Chains A and B, each alone.
Chain A
């Protein structure tokens, strides 16, 4: 293989895809401003940028979902105009969406069939789906309906669906955000294999280490413009982040914290799920002191959602003392009663669960803050105070928005996440349960959120972080426990835990049983 051109292609070869001055304008706002890139076969090309840098817009242009305002795309040297995604797929462009393009009430096989353009019979699709999912180690049951599946499983559908199109150019938008390290490794192996097969891959990620490890080239976007093209392997994570953000990202500092009274205790919690396909919680116990951050790792769909529902009060527990908040048996208490005890909860799903999408930020603040004193007086809403709370959240967490009090749905994913986390943190809770605090959030914002969690713990709050991002857990937690098939492992001291150990626990094996039990005592 020649080393003279990127990716070792022969010098006379043309790039598979080339964008020249690609521009997308909304009114006066330039979502993409004259972007030049080249995508070569046999290359994994990273697309880096903060939330709102224009990555999604660029990808939508390439996939035919949006039409450029100016500039052009060339496919193997010929001008390419795409009227829609079907035309992109016909050329061999496949896409794995970040906000999944799945249909909740349809089965896995039906969802896959909708992404294929051929005249394949439904039976053949199911068979090929099994085949592809086995081949690439992404297990899926074609007959399940999507609403029953976890976020991680949903993503598998997206990936398998794209792979089944046999694409020459595959776009992946944040594919590893919900995978275990082992699953991510498997995916990387798949991507390496696809690359070796001569395909081109455009890889969007916030995880700079991953990009460094996997990608051959990187295009970095900032506020709609391309700021750099570089070879990530030659850069450091810090230098990549600097190019993305334009400024240095702060290192997280861990504060010293003294252990205090247990503020959140779960005693042998058994819970049969309402949904027949849900996960049964089996003898889950944990104890969380003030000033402590406990991480809960695990692959999506192993009972984290069920545990979150039981802790937050969305699902009541029969034995009231199975959940104890601030020394009070809370298993049978309502969500509001638990909030009055000083607990706060941040669910995984930002829109629909964490916020009411069509309501204003002030209304959404009130929805979780009404139990605390201040916002409601004698049954009347104190609008000024609620708005002031919105302003405080906005300021402390750098929530970017067009107006003072817009609808929740109008915020970008990362900004809404900052808002949802900030809303609970600023209530200064005694116990905070937070699920996927930085999912889909850019590196800069993730740092802000993690620092806020650390600061909160330093102030004496007990923090439970449920996350699929092991790096995050290792960075901020004191202890980590792993959820598998509804059982919670004993917790390991984060400082002593290795990724391998955690990865094995996430897969259901128990490495060094005695050691683990020992570590939990500590």
Chain B
């Protein structure tokens, strides 16, 4: 029982940064912008997040620093792709490389510095319920925030007029423009939201997961977040399934390796990717016809005047 609880706790911790980053990217892509710079924005968020907390001692300041860092990076991306109509794929890749390099520079001052990680919720009686108490009521604030975020995003996309307009821009920017919607401005805001989320997801790593910064500590999580968005067919509900499934299988295979199962460890390490892809593809197949891919995704829009 103890072990199961420990596993679930570590699954939640491993899945949260993926969920936050992927939520932001989902909104960005729904507006028609493909920002491949998630990894770069995350690592910048990690460096600046740790820096903020190390200097002030406040987790919240750290998290805000991470968000701002991610957002600033996404603004560079937006200037290039929306303002100057540069290719989105190339710009996104460049952004990742840039972010990894810059984060090394910024983080150089704090490498090896430890901070106190984000406190976990503790409600005297519910949290101490033997099994399940810690899982439901004993998480750090980021976990609750990430779930609130995806619920809010889902509500925004499908229940509000602004969300409808955002989806419309991603589906057909020519029509959206013809109806008089400011396509580029909407995309700018969506891209900035994506950047802030990626920065926050990056900041989660030093602030709540491992209490220090090392260069390259995001270890490809940004790419996984990007892949999750695609395999989740741009649907928020499925994104939650994908992120937790990925986190769960990565933790479980570690435990399985530790228990000495006679399967090559390389195969075990590949399992999370394999399992997530299979499940999400199966879910996509089950949907009858039609595509949820934003039709304008990744295409440059220049309004004619």
User: Interface of A with B (CB < 8 Å)?
Assistant: 64-67, 84-86, 88-89, 97, 100-106, 110, 113-115, 145, 147-148, 274-277
CB within 8 A of B164: which of A67, A102, A114? Answer: A114
Instruction: Please name the residue on chain B nearest to A65 by beta carbon.
Output: B178
**Assuming A105-B291, A105-B295, is B164 touching A85 (CB within 8 A)?**
no
Number of interface residues of B (CB under 8 A): 24
Chain B nearest CB: distance from A128 CB in Å? 16
Inter-chain pairs besides A64-B180, A65-B180, A67-B305, 6 sampled, C-beta below 8 Å: A65-B178, A66-B304, A105-B290, A105-B294, A276-B288, A276-B289
Does B289 contact A277, Cβ atoms closer than 8 Å? yes
CB within 8 A of A114: which of B174, B179, B292? Answer: B179
**Assuming A103-B171, A276-B289, is B164 touching A89 (CB within 8 A)?**
no
Chain A nearest CB: distance from B164 CB in Å? 6
Which residues does chain B contribute within 8 Å of A147, judged by CB atoms? 290-291
A115 and B290 alpha carbons, distance in the complex (Å) = 23
Interface residues of B in 250-305 (CB under 8 A from A): 288-292, 294-295, 304-305
CB within 8 A of B292: which of A102, A105, A276? Answer: A105
Interface residues of B in 155-182 (CB under 8 A from A): 161, 164-165, 167-168, 171-172, 174-181
Does B171 contact A101, Cβ atoms closer than 8 Å? no
A88 and B179 alpha carbons, distance in the complex (Å) = 10
Which residues does chain A contribute within 8 Å of B288, judged by CB atoms? 276
* Most chain A CB atoms below 10 A, which of B164, B181, B294, B305: B164
Does B180 contact A106, Cβ atoms closer than 8 Å? no
Does B180 contact A89, Cβ atoms closer than 8 Å? yes
A145 and B167 alpha carbons, distance in the complex (Å) = 14
Chain B nearest CB: distance from A114 CB in Å? 5
A115 and B164 alpha carbons, distance in the complex (Å) = 11
Chain B nearest CB: distance from A334 CB in Å? 23
Which residues does chain B contribute within 8 Å of A102, judged by CB atoms? 172, 175
A103 and B292 alpha carbons, distance in the complex (Å) = 12
A442 and B124 alpha carbons, distance in the complex (Å) = 78
Chain B nearest CB: distance from A26 CB in Å? 9
Does A148 contact B290, Cβ atoms closer than 8 Å? yes
Instruction: Please name the residue on chain A nearest to B304 by beta carbon.
Output: A66
Chain A nearest CB: distance from B294 CB in Å? 7
Chain A nearest CB: distance from B128 CB in Å? 45
What are 14 A-B pairs at a CB distance below 8 A? Answer: A65-B178, A67-B305, A85-B178, A85-B180, A89-B180, A101-B179, A105-B171, A105-B290, A105-B292, A106-B171, A114-B165, A114-B176, A147-B291, A276-B288
A65 and B176 alpha carbons, distance in the complex (Å) = 11
Instruction: Please name the residue on chain B nearest to A277 by beta carbon.
Output: B289
Interface residues of B in 111-145 (CB under 8 A from A): none
Does B172 contact A104, Cβ atoms closer than 8 Å? yes
Which residues does chain B contribute within 8 Å of A275, judged by CB atoms? 289
Does A101 contact B164, Cβ atoms closer than 8 Å? no
A16 and B176 alpha carbons, distance in the complex (Å) = 27
Which residues does chain B contribute within 8 Å of A115, judged by CB atoms? 179
A66 and B177 alpha carbons, distance in the complex (Å) = 11
Proximity string of chain B (172-208) to chain A, C-beta cutoff 8 Å, 1 when within and 0 when not:
1011111111000000000000000000000000000
Which residues does chain B contribute within 8 Å of A97, judged by CB atoms? 178
Which residues does chain A contribute within 8 Å of B178, judged by CB atoms? 65, 85, 97, 101
Chain B nearest CB: distance from A383 CB in Å? 28
Does B290 contact A103, Cβ atoms closer than 8 Å? no
Does B290 contact A114, Cβ atoms closer than 8 Å? no
Does B179 contact A104, Cβ atoms closer than 8 Å? no
Chain B nearest CB: distance from A81 CB in Å? 15
Which residues does chain A contribute within 8 Å of B161, judged by CB atoms? 113
Interface residues of B in 26-63 (CB under 8 A from A): none
Does A104 contact B171, Cβ atoms closer than 8 Å? yes
Which residues does chain B contribute within 8 Å of A84, judged by CB atoms? 180
Instruction: Please name the residue on chain B nearest to A102 by beta carbon.
Output: B175
Does B295 contact A106, Cβ atoms closer than 8 Å? no
A489 and B174 alpha carbons, distance in the complex (Å) = 39
* Most chain A CB atoms below 10 A, which of B161, B295, B304: B161
Which residues does chain B contribute within 8 Å of A85, judged by CB atoms? 178-180
Chain B nearest CB: distance from A297 CB in Å? 28
Which residues does chain A contribute within 8 Å of B175, judged by CB atoms? 100-103
Chain A nearest CB: distance from B213 CB in Å? 41
Chain A nearest CB: distance from B94 CB in Å? 24
Chain A nearest CB: distance from B12 CB in Å? 33
Which residues does chain B contribute within 8 Å of A145, judged by CB atoms? 290
Does A110 contact B289, Cβ atoms closer than 8 Å? no
Which residues does chain B contribute within 8 Å of A113, judged by CB atoms? 161, 164
Which residues does chain A contribute within 8 Å of B181, judged by CB atoms? 114
Which residues does chain B contribute within 8 Å of A114, judged by CB atoms? 164-165, 168, 176, 179, 181
Chain A nearest CB: distance from B55 CB in Å? 45
A67 and B304 alpha carbons, distance in the complex (Å) = 10
* Most chain B CB atoms below 10 A, which of A113, A114, A115: A114
Chain B nearest CB: distance from A142 CB in Å? 14
Which residues does chain A contribute within 8 Å of B179, judged by CB atoms? 85, 101, 114-115
Chain A nearest CB: distance from B304 CB in Å? 7
Instruction: Please name the residue on chain A nearest to B292 by beta carbon.
Output: A105
Chain B nearest CB: distance from A315 CB in Å? 14
Does B289 contact A106, Cβ atoms closer than 8 Å? no
Does A110 contact B172, Cβ atoms closer than 8 Å? no
Which residues does chain A contribute within 8 Å of B289, judged by CB atoms? 148, 274-277
A276 and B290 alpha carbons, distance in the complex (Å) = 10
Chain B nearest CB: distance from A436 CB in Å? 21
Counting from the closest, the 4 A-B pairs by CB-CB distance are: A85-B180, A101-B175, A101-B178, A103-B171
A102 and B165 alpha carbons, distance in the complex (Å) = 12
**Assuming A103-B171, A103-B172, A106-B164, is B305 touching A66 (CB within 8 A)?**
yes
